[in-house]
A and B are shown apart, each in its own frame.
Chain A
Amino acid sequence: LAKTTQPISMDSYEGQEVNITCSHNNIATNDYITWYQQFPSQGPRFIIQGYKTKVTNEVASLFIPADRKSSTLSLPRVSLSDTAVYYCLVGNMNRDDKIIFGKGTRLHILP
């Protein structure tokens, strides 16, 4: 399982774009990168998943450089409701593989 490293916490302001970077230096060829969002007192929620280059959905964008040793979750024009913990996970899709969460990044959006 590839180990991931994320900042423990980040602050930003409403209306700004927020980028959270995750390092995964020992990512394997078959590994995918997945991001989750967790609000207080709730279970995590899937945000986005990618393998390489760029993936975009209605919530966020995921940028993955060619060497895949890091990835960046981009949240456009954040609001107070984006205050949450964001988790970066790396792993392949094999049936028997464990899905392991790290400590995540605590994002605090200020007015």
Chain B
Amino acid sequence: NAGVTQTPKFRVLKTGQSMTLLCAQDMNHEYMYWYRQDPGMGLRLIHYSVGEGTTAKGEVPDGYNVSRLKKQNFLLGLESAAPSQTSVYFCASSYEAGGLNTGELFFGEGSRLTVL
């Protein structure tokens, strides 16, 4: 049981390049999230999804796009990378119980992105 898997784990980009981070979960969870974490800081929510085909903006959505075409996958895209997007990105998922979000997040190992 892999849980939440993020690919790639490391990536170096040049300013202006684009890339996609893939998050895959095998727990049949309804909800998925993308966070970023900068050194010495807490996690900030970028985008999230409450189900297949739905996405919503978090705290810091600018410069990022997401898609949830399949329930198990949540993609985070950077169309034109900027040095300010250098960070560690974490994907998480959570499950539903009784029509409500349990709020119990399961996190991936993180993807370290450097933009030069």
Task: Report which A residues bind B (CB closer than 8 A).
Answer: 32, 34, 36, 41-46, 49, 85, 87, 89, 91, 93-104
Contacts and interface: CB of A to CB of B under 8 A. Distances in A.
A42 B110 contact: yes
B92 A43 contact: yes
B2 interface: no
Contacts of A87: 42-43
Contacts of B56: 96, 98
A43 B44 CA distance: 13
Interface residues of B, number: 30
21 contacts: A36-B105, A43-B110, A44-B43, A44-B90, A44-B92, A85-B42, A87-B42, A89-B103, A93-B100, A93-B101, A95-B50, A95-B96, A95-B101, A96-B50, A96-B56, A97-B101, A98-B45, A98-B48, A99-B48, A99-B101, A104-B42
Nearest first, the 7 A-B pairs at minimum CB distance are A43-B107, A93-B100, A101-B43, A103-B42, A101-B42, A43-B90, A46-B104
B12 to A, nearest CB: 18
Interface string B51-77: 000001011000000000000000000
Contact of B103 (A32, A41, A104): A32
Given A98-B59, A102-B42, A46 B105 contact: yes
A99 B105 contact: yes
B23 to A, nearest CB: 11
